[in-house]
Structures are given as C-alpha cells and as structure tokens.
Amino acid sequence: MTLYISVVNHNHDKMICENPTLRELASEHKVILKSNTPSTEELKEYCKKADIILLQGSDKKGFGANNNEVFKYAETTLNMSNNDHFLVLNPDVEVTNENINLLLSQVAKDNTKISTINLFKNKEMTEYDNSIRQFPTLMNPIKTLAGIKRTDHYNKSIIYKPTVIDWAAGSFLLFKFEVYKELNGFDEQYFMYFEDVDICRRSFNKGDFIIYYPHYKAIHTAQMTNRKILSVNFLHYLFSTVKYFIKNNKHNK
C-alpha cells in the first residue's frame, strides 16, 4: 500500500520551504506538489532535495481541479492503484509520519473509505480547528456571509473514539483510491469553497461515510481568506453556496 499526498501551492512557496512537514512525509510517502502559481527557485530546490514531485501549472485552477490533476498524474504516471490511498493535504498543515502511519494502519484495519483526523489551530494543541461539520442548511452560509457565529461544527472535546461525521474540511481528507475514482474526484465547477462538502455529501449518499479519528492529530495554521462583500473570495463563496444547494436540492427530489 502506497500513500500519495496531494498538496496545492498558491503563493505558499516560503511557507512550504519553512515547514518541515512535506520533507518529512516525502521520506516515506509520495508527495506531489501542484503549484498553481509560478514556483520560486527556492521552492524548486526544496522539492528537488526532498524528493517531492513538483507539477507546475500554466493556468490557475480551483482547489478541486488541482487535486484531480494530481490524482490523475499519480494514477497514470506513478501507477497508483486499488490498494493505495490518496491524501488531500493543505500546505499549512503540520503533521508527522508517525500520525500518518498510525492512521493508515487504522483505516486499513477498519476498511474506512474516507477519513480525517483531529486538527488544531495552535502548536500547543489546545484550540480545536472546526474542521468537522454537519451538512449545511441554507442558514449556515448566510451566517458566514453575515459574520454571525455558526454552530454546525461537531464538538471535538466530547468525541473520544472514531466517529461517523457528515463532512470534513479539505485541509486533510484521506481517500481510498477506488473511492476517489468512483466519485470522479472533486466537482471542478466549484472554484473555491464547498468542494469538500460536496464530495463528502456524494460519498455519504452512496453509503460510504466519513470517519473522524480523534486520536491522530495535526496542526492547521489556517490563514482565513477575506470574504468582504463584493470581494473576489466573497463572490466565489456566494457562487459555491448557490451551486451546492441547487445541486443538493435536485438530488433530493
């Protein structure tokens, strides 16, 4: 069983080079970095020394399209197949090989199709990242756009064992190869936002549930994007919100 790790770079060159995570992961697993922006010489050298495969994009794609491109590359060029796993990982996540390997052993034992782990916002691991949530109602995105606190996240402080959840953030999503392939990966019509909700919803509808493993941990130093009214990110979020609810409403009819 081989683990293929997909990381999308969007002007994160300096952060990637300063974070030892990808270098460490590449010592045991196949790390593929898709650069959505022109790579600096520093990043190119970092990848070369760390044995990280660097795919340089020529045009800017969305989160889903970039990860789908990495998956296709791993399948067709690196011969990723049924016994393998595909990890979608944000460049701002710090995780050890120990936690990754323990997770891989656990999901193999449990035959888990899609999984995630316990993400924290700080190095002390005292502040939970709200990375696992219930499927959104229309009020949830409206609250986000209005700056109102949302309550649709699971309370990680009371979850002590592997648990079925609705969806997990794309900052850390581990797929069995055949599941990602059967789902045709992420829906590329989402450029930003809701790609992770959508793929988890489609998997859920097939009866392949997402499992949250609380004992395996990582740090997610998330840099929140600006969603001020009429900003580019706001418009992306609004488009994705509308698309998700139209698509989900059609499925439920």
| Neighbouring residues of 232: CB distance < 8 A, sequence distance ≥ 6 | none
Q: To the nearest 10°, report the CA torsion of 67, 15, 241, 168.
A: 70
In this predicted structure, the answer to whether residue 130 has a pLDDT above a threshold of 50 is: yes
Residues 188-212: pLDDT tens digits?
988 778 899 999 999 999 999 999 9
In this predicted structure, the answer to whether residue 181 has a pLDDT above a threshold of 50 is: yes
Whole-model pTM?
A: 0.89
Q: Please give the Cα distance from 83 to 18 (Å, whole number).
A: 32
Please state, for a pLDDT cut of 90, what percent of the chain lies above it: 74
Kindly list the structural domains of the chain, giving each domain's residue range(s) and its CATH number in brackets, ordered by start: 3-225 (3.90.550.10)
Q: What would you report as the CA-atom Rg of the chain, rounded to the nearest whole angstrom? A: 17
pLDDT at 226: 47
- Which residue did the predictor score with more confidence, 147 or 59? 59
Q: Please give the mean pLDDT across all residues of the chain.
A: 90
In this predicted structure, the answer to whether residue 252 has a pLDDT above a threshold of 90 is: no
